Chains A and B, each alone.
Chain A
Amino acid sequence: MATVTNTPADTHTADHGHDDHHHGAPKGILRWVLTTNHKDIGTLYLWFAFIMFLVGGAMAMVIRAELFQPGLQIVDPNFFNQMTTVHGLIMVFGAVMPAFTGLANWLVPMMIGAPDMALPRMNNWSFWILPFAFLILLSSLFLEGGGPNFGWTFYAPLSTTYSGDSTALFVFSVHIMGISSIMGAINVIVTILNMRAPGMTLMKMPMFVWTWLITAFLLIAVMPVLAAAVTMVLTDKFFGTSFFDAAGGGDPVMFQHIFWFFGHPEVYIMILPAFGIISQIVPTFSRKKLFGYASMVYATASIALLSFIVWAHHMFTTGMPVGAEMFFMFATMLISVPTGVKVFNWVATMWRGSLTFEIPMMFAIAFIVLFTIGGLSGLMLAITPVDFQYHDTYFVVAHFHYVLVTGAVFSIMAAVYYWLPKWTGKMFDVTLAKWHFWCSLISVNVLFFPMHFVGLAGMPRRIPDYALQFADFNKWISIGGFAFGLSQLIFLVLIVKACRKQGEPVTDQVWEGAEGLEWEIPSPAPYHTFDTPPVVK
């Protein structure tokens, strides 16, 4: 059904010199420092995200170790708060977002038939400032008084008047992360809008490209608002302004409005590309076209638009007029309609397909089930009167870990398993992958499911010690946490083996049902692809 366009490796030696990023892969560390190749940068992003996932995960292990039993045993409360804060920041800005950017770098040009990202030098920059941002953030933990301890949501005035001096470093590092994401997003948008192969109309683009395009627009819309929020925190703390200080006529609740105006679209920034990934994987292993492609696109766009008018559902307890509470409750409930459409479409894609259950499909199915659980608890959280009970308890923690760990993170793992053979040219170690899947699946539920119970029973979030009635479940949660953490080491071994090119060689198509431009180029994908654009019909 498709003829393969591949650019033989020797054609671009002739091109060499006409464009300075067209050279083969040089060796050594400088290759990685100076690279402008989208595949190299994708690899860098993915490795960085994985390392940050392990660092942030190590912090989660500290948190779970402290919460293993009641009483204070391992860390003091101040350090505990730093752990929860930095765990959140690292997982959001250091693991999930860079992983998606890495996948976009690898896949978007290959999926739309472009030779590289539109702005390769900026691409290099947007990656390489990221490690510095996190070095700054992590180094603040070792300063006197410690790093940020006010939660990743850094509510004023805890983060302004009442915070330590390391707040300046926190603000600086968030600024750098923001600049990096904005540059990445601009690159994705320009690439998708300007560099599609002839015939690749917008409505022919793979869903992953669509969801990333919409995500990138969300990023450039809200990352600057985050930058404004941290700037205000900085000036409030160090330069005597009073945006959030009642004494000077400010209002601490305003901080939450500004933060969540960024924060809610941010939630969708972390889940829309996941929707895209699942929409690539499910059709492949169902051997059937994605059900309702157009409605998927519209659903994604409407989720993105709605995400701008629901922010205050994070702040129902701050004391809002009842009219505002109603508005934000209804708007939030509305988001479940397009989200539901997506889930139904995936199920309909599987329905009467010809299903096989390779590792990416196993992760995708786990995603659909567990993300839906997270989505349903999100629907419960939208109901204002009940949210007064759920708010700031472990029920919320359970909810957002279901959507972010078994949602976003599982989708990233699914994506890695799906495209890894294309990247390396070898099939990964399937036995290890099965171990990784089943260990992760079981432990992640032992970890997060009981959190619903302790939350409903009344355990507040972000506490280093708890009342005795929460003890049994917390023990299980911690055991699940350690098991989930250890399971990821299997993944590490698997990835290292794959990067050393161990394993059986794979075909160009890799998976029997796979369709799309990236499956029509050789495996492993050559360093340069689509130097001459393919024509899509």
Chain B
Amino acid sequence: MAVEETNSDNQKDAGDMPTNTQRPNHAKTVGKLVFVVVAMFGFGFALVPLYEVFCELTGINGKTSDTAAVYEPIEIDKTRTITVDFITRTNTGMPWEFKAVTKRVEINPGELSEVAFYVRNPASRDIIAQAIPSVSPGQAALYVNKTECFCFRHQPLKSGEEAVMPMVFYIDPQLPEDINYFTLQYTLYDITERVDEPVDVAMNSIQGR
């Protein structure tokens, strides 16, 4: 690397070379870089929906779809029997009693099955709950199609009320060969303070058996 003395003359000769006097140049570069910064900040937030899409495609976090599937009679795969366990939990601060009436089903892929969950609100206040599903192994979640589920909506119960909540689902026959057994968990959260709706919206289920 060799360096030689320069003066203003050969600086002009090197007109196409960047020099320190070209400030507009800076503005342009800075503009582009600021755009990248803003875009990446946006991308940080865009990761949220991207993650959700990614999960829906790969079952990475074991969440089932939160919208109802439509059951079209499909061929039932009698050669396989899939065991599904149901487990229930309530989050901290959630006083409800929450039980799976059906603890386990054994069904063929493609077959429609109905299971039920029992809830009771023993607290002295009215409570709105939300059930969050989780499936393990996670990939199985992609093949659980619920045509009807209490988890699609909020579940309000007045003080002392109880209910049996149904869930109707079928398993997509595309379920990978190695999965013959999976677990579906529901966790109930108290979301009364998060939502404004009144508790007396009738629950779409059998009230007070």
Contacts and interface: CB of A to CB of B under 8 A. Distances in A.
Interface of A: 1-5, 113-116, 118-119, 182, 185-186, 189-190, 193-199, 204, 220-229, 231-232, 240, 243, 246-249, 251, 253-254, 257-258, 261-262, 319-321, 323-324, 515-517, 520, 532-537
B132 A228 contact: no
Nearest to A18: B21
Interface of B: 1-8, 10-11, 14, 17-20, 22, 25-26, 29-30, 33-34, 36-45, 47-48, 51, 55, 58-63, 66, 91, 130, 132, 136, 138-139, 187, 189, 191, 194
28 contacts: A2-B1, A3-B4, A5-B5, A113-B3, A186-B34, A186-B37, A190-B33, A194-B22, A194-B26, A196-B17, A204-B1, A223-B37, A224-B41, A226-B44, A227-B44, A228-B47, A246-B132, A247-B91, A257-B51, A258-B48, A258-B51, A262-B44, A319-B136, A321-B58, A515-B1, A533-B11, A533-B19, A537-B3
Nearest to A112: B18
Contacts of B8: 532
Given A220-B33, A262-B44, A320-B60, 8 more contacts: A3-B4, A197-B17, A198-B14, A199-B17, A221-B40, A223-B40, A228-B44, A254-B47
A190 B29 contact: yes
A225 B43 contact: yes
A253 B48 CA distance: 11
Contacts of A114: 20
Contact of B139 (A196, A321, A535): A321
B175 to A, nearest CB: 14
B47 A195 contact: no
A240 B11 CA distance: 60
A381 B37 CA distance: 32
A324 B58 contact: yes
Nearest to A252: B61
Contacts of A224: 37-41, 43-44
Contacts of B29: 189-190, 193-194
Nearest to A520: B3
Given A118-B26, A533-B11, A536-B2, A247 B130 contact: yes
A297 B58 CA distance: 36
A511 to B, nearest CB: 16
A189 B39 CA distance: 17
Contacts of B191: 247-248
A224 B60 CA distance: 25
Contact of B138 (A195, A199, A321): A321
A319 B138 contact: yes
B44 A182 contact: no
Contact of B189 (A243, A246, A536): A246
Contact of A253 (B44, B61, B130, B187): B61
A116 B19 CA distance: 11
Given A115-B20, A247-B91, A533-B11, A194 B3 contact: no
Contact of B44 (A220, A225, A248, A535): A225
A335 to B, nearest CB: 22
A258 B50 CA distance: 11
B5 A3 contact: yes
Contacts of B37: 182, 186, 220, 223-224
B36 to A, nearest CB: 5
A230 to B, nearest CB: 10
5 closest A-B pairs (Cβ-Cβ)? A228-B44, A247-B189, A224-B41, A224-B40, A198-B14
A258 B54 CA distance: 13
Q: Which has the most chain A C-beta neighbours within 10 Å: B19, B20, B47?
A: B20
Nearest to A227: B41
A25 B17 CA distance: 30
Contacts of A118: 26
Q: Which has the most chain A C-beta neighbours within 10 Å: B8, B45, B136?
A: B45
B11 A198 contact: yes
Nearest to B3: A534
A228 B3 contact: no
Contacts of B36: 220-221
Contacts of A533: 6, 11, 19-20
Nearest to B61: A251
A74 to B, nearest CB: 32
Contact of A534 (B4, B40, B136, B189): B4
Contacts of A253: 61
Given A1-B2, A2-B3, A186 B44 contact: no
A520 B51 CA distance: 53
A231 B45 CA distance: 9
Q: Which has the most chain A C-beta neighbours within 10 Å: B3, B19, B61?
A: B3
